Structure 1
């Protein structure tokens, strides 16, 4: 009987060990890696052009990967932090330690965040407009409806977007946006509306119109004009949202682009995050005329001969 019990006990242990091993093997088969698998990420709609470019290059370099990007208003992206099916959020908000811990406690995963680039809110007007040099005081007047001309502010949505949040928090600082303001469904819709309406003034992420090597963005620049804003360090001097001015924050409306990745293992989200912060990803940001956030740059004075 003692021998029989030992045999039965050994059999049970063998079955349990086999089951655990089979489960582990199955888990490994279903688990993605930085070089293989598919994930869904949530992205602030303002950054569709640059994130599309990043995904295209990453998938080209890792042909066994598929990154499904859902583009939506920033508030919806942040709500997706608590959605198990969303592995990464790309937006302009950096979470506080308390907010990070809330996500960790809710989902029981490792959460990492990092600013990877600096963006700017560009101001665009109709080609017929003479309002191409504006101070931040005048921008506030436009947004509150008190400008000397009846300009209509147009955004990529009237609420929940990163552009609207930036203007409310960093520009208006408690003042209310005029009731005449209009919201379009997407950033390219803002461009089209401004192109067709002489009294419209649009606010969009610079990645939609900053890349002069992009055929679509060049076509946009034929339809609208980019407004120069008064420099934050030299009153009376007006600057465009180009890389040097974004880097120094001389252009007064800049913001960071941040990734938040939440994974319980080293998966595809982690791989894509490291790619964005790495050399190739940073070069893609540079080529898109955003300011790479993970590389140091030296700005040297230069002169041109007329």
Structure 2
């Protein structure tokens, strides 16, 4: 009798262990994060590093149970991460293109995206270079290599960066960049190179030189000159300030978007929602981008 009980008990334990194993297997696919807790990696266009670092600092302080690890890289690499599912959220200067949308449609996934802000590219020159005021026609001539007045050394951050793509597609209309173009790897290295070379003109994201409370931003603006540009049909030369980005008076503008492929409401959704919220948009405003999700009012002021 005792042996029979032991056998039955052993059989029962075996069944229970199998059930628990099955339950655990089923739970392994359950989300381990929520909009306000957990750990995820995101990929961010490296031109937005100062902005997103500030956004993450605020977000983590509001939601201490979150841990978002941002990987800053060229925009093309961000979209690769999104496509191969190594990053569920990316911050970039464009939305999905037709080929990318077709891929997601094929695998029956519907990514979400939203415009967060209007951004701009800043042109920077050496402080000893007198050519710090340019028309848009002059900018085009420099970027496609047809400028005959002087020999410029054009400097970008990375061959696969969003700044290169913008100049090549939006400004040069598909024409290649001239042979005198070089990549300095990062935005800070662009600034350093321009500061050392009088004939150089650098192209960087405006948020790198826009935070008046950041020592790095102040150092950059002290090392180089930010070029004033006159838009087509414009009447004045302006720097990439918020009001001019908003009105189009500064013509080298582009969007800042998030693209999210998250099948449930997880931490990616939580951070994307924060970026579009009032608090997230205030951080964007501080970095001199023009917020797309809140109304910003500009008033004229007389400086005595």
TM score, norm. by length of structure 2: 0.88
What's 2:41 paired with?
A: 40
1:108-141 alpha-carbon deviations (Å, 9 max, x no partner): 5441100101110000000101111101111122
What's 1:7 paired with?
A: none
Q: Is the 8 A contact 1:156 1:187 kept in 2?
A: yes
- 1:117 aligns to 2:124 (yes or no): no
- 1:204 aligns to 2:204 (yes or no): yes
SS in 1 for 2:254: strand
- Rounded Cα–Cα distance in structure 2 between residues aligned with 1:98 and 1:163: 21
- 1:304 aligns to 2:280 (yes or no): no
**Backbone CA RMSD of aligned residues:** 2.3
1:57-93 alpha-carbon deviations (Å, 9 max, x no partner): 1112111111111111111111112222311111011
What's 1:215 paired with?
A: 215
Q: Is the 8 A contact 1:115 1:257 kept in 2?
A: yes
TM score, norm. by length of structure 1: 0.88
Deviation larger for 90-99 or 260-269: 90-99
Q: Is the 8 A contact 2:152 2:180 kept in 1?
A: no
Cα 1:299–1:305 shift into 2, 3 Å: closer
What's 2:68 paired with?
A: 67
Q: Any gaps of 5 or more consecutive residues in structure 1? A: 1-10
1:21 positional shift:
5.3
- Rounded Cα–Cα distance in structure 1 between residues aligned with 2:258 and 2:55: 13
- 1:88-107 correspondence to structure 2 within 5 Å: 88-96=89-97, 99-106=100-107
- Rounded Cα–Cα distance in structure 1 between residues aligned with 2:285 and 2:272: 17
- Rounded Cα–Cα distance in structure 1 between residues aligned with 2:21 and 2:176: 62
- Rounded Cα–Cα distance in structure 2 between residues aligned with 1:98 and 1:161: 19
1:105 positional shift:
3.5
SS in 1 for 2:68: strand
What's 2:287 paired with?
A: 288
- Rounded Cα–Cα distance in structure 2 between residues aligned with 1:85 and 1:152: 36
1:273 positional shift:
0.2
SS in 2 for 1:59: helix
1:243-280 alpha-carbon deviations (Å, 9 max, x no partner): 00111111010000010011111000000000000011
1:171 positional shift:
0.8
Number of aligned residue pairs: give it.
Answer: 291
Runs (4 or more) in structure 1 with deviation over 4 Å come to 13-28
Q: Any gaps of 5 or more consecutive residues in structure 2? A: 1-11
What's 1:154 paired with?
A: 155
1:54 positional shift:
0.9
Q: Is the 8 A contact 1:133 1:228 kept in 2?
A: yes
SS in 1 for 2:116: strand
- Rounded Cα–Cα distance in structure 1 between residues aligned with 2:185 and 2:276: 30
- 1:130 aligns to 2:130 (yes or no): yes
- Rounded Cα–Cα distance in structure 2 between residues aligned with 1:231 and 1:171: 13
Q: Is the 8 A contact 2:156 2:203 kept in 1?
A: yes
- Rounded Cα–Cα distance in structure 1 between residues aligned with 2:198 and 2:290: 31
1:22 positional shift:
4.9
What's 2:53 paired with?
A: 52
- 1:179 aligns to 2:175 (yes or no): no
